[in-house]
């Protein structure tokens, strides 16, 4: 399902989707985990707004991280990986002119797909309560502006609706259809609450001119479905935004508990890189090669 030979050349993500590959994208939010994920053969990676807000600011995903923070992090990650990057852009960080600015900024940063949603500002994580969406027509206009603002059709527009929780599946699907008609490349109905609801999304939205995306967030509002099942239901792309940060937090807590109790990390049962593995991950061998080459020349 994941194309281990994929690259981040222009149009790489579009080519994967047009070929019919299912794209499973883990969530990344800083460069250590992005470099690990980049080595694992995934067809694409997903920059999660929740993860950026948490790791960069130590704050909840509640509209508190801004455009400058997000586009800067997106460019850093895109520059440092070999896979296409999909990136969360919340509501576009303001009004319609802000959406235009955000689309152009993300495209210039090297992102291959931007995710925009129909929540009111400030937005909230899609698996938390009290989310509110803007009126139908305003939501569609956001996508129209995003589509018209991009410079290349290889830069994909992901249109997300959070209407399911407040207004039900019928409203969410109606918005999904309208987003596809407005030119969205990928439609994302956030937080269906059962496998039957995922099936309904696939039955009513697949084949309407846009690929379908799903969000797998274990412990959230949606069931945790495997990639193969999502593909059967009509989806072409899925993200696992919390997979790395959830495991990383648990590992950090466990190894630090060992240090706090015993004054050493020796004996911890938490898997850990040694220094040589960290050096390799961060590219020190290339630094040493460079230094040796020029030391010999001198």
Q: Give the model confidence (pLDDT) of 19-35 as tens digits.
A: 999 999 999 999 999 99
One of 3.40.50.10860, 3.40.50.300, 3.20.20.60, 3.90.1150.10 is the CATH number of 12-248, namely 3.20.20.60
Q: Which of 46, 71, 40, 36 is nearest to 56 (CA)?
A: 71
Residue closest to 96 by CA, chosen among 158, 150, 144, 135: 144
Residues forming beta bridges with residue 237, ordered by sequence position: 23, 213
Does the pTM surpass 0.85? The reply is: yes
- Residue written as tokens 């593995």? 277
The domain locations on the chain are 12-248, 268-298
Query: By CB neighbour count within 10 A (0-12 exposed, 13-18 middle, 19+ buried), where does 294 fall?
Result: exposed
Residues of the chain with pLDDT under 70: 1-6, 126, 128, 130, 297-298
Average pLDDT for the chain: 93
Answer whether 53's CB lies under 8 Å from 27's CB: no
Tens-digit pLDDT profile for residues 91-136:
999 999 999 999 999 999 999 999 999 998 878 776 767 689 999 9
């Amino acid at each position: 399902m994941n194309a281990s030979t994929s690259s981040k050349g222009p149009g790489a993500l579009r080519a994967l989707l047009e070929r019919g590959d299912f794209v499973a994208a883990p969530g990344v939010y800083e460069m250590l985990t992005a470099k690990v994920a980049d080595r694992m053969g995934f067809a694409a990676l997903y920059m999660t707004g929740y993860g950026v807000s948490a790791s960069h600011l130590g704050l909840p995903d509640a509209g508190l991280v801004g455009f400058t923070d997000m586009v800067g992090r997106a460019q850093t990650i895109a520059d440092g990986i070999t896979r296409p990057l999909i990136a969360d852009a919340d509501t576009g960080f303001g009004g319609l002119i802000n959406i235009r600015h955000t689309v152009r900024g993300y495209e210039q940063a090297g992102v291959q797909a931007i995710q925009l949603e129909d929540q009111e500002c400030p937005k909230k994580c899609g698996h938390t309560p009290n989310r509110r969406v803007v009126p139908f027509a305003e939501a569609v206009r956001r996508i129209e502006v995003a589509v018209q603002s991009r410079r290349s059709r290889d830069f994909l527009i992901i249109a997300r609706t959070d209407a399911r929780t407040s207004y039900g599946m019928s409203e969410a699907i109606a918005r999904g259809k309208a987003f596809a008609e407005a030119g969205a490349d990928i439609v994302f109905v956030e937080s269906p609450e059962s496998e039957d609801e995922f099936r309904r999304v696939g039955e009513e939205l697949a084949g309407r001119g846009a690929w379908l995306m799903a969000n797998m967030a274990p412990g959230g509002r949606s069931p945790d479905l495997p990639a193969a099942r999502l593909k059967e239901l009509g989806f072409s792309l899925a993200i696992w935004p919390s997979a790395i940060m959830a495991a990383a937090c648990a590992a950090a807590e466990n190894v630090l508990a060992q240090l706090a109790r015993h004054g050493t990390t020796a004996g911890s049962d938490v898997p850990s890189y040694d220094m040589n593995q960290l050096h390799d991950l961060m590219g020190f061998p290339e630094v040493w090669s460079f230094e040796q080459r020029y030391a010999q020349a001198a």
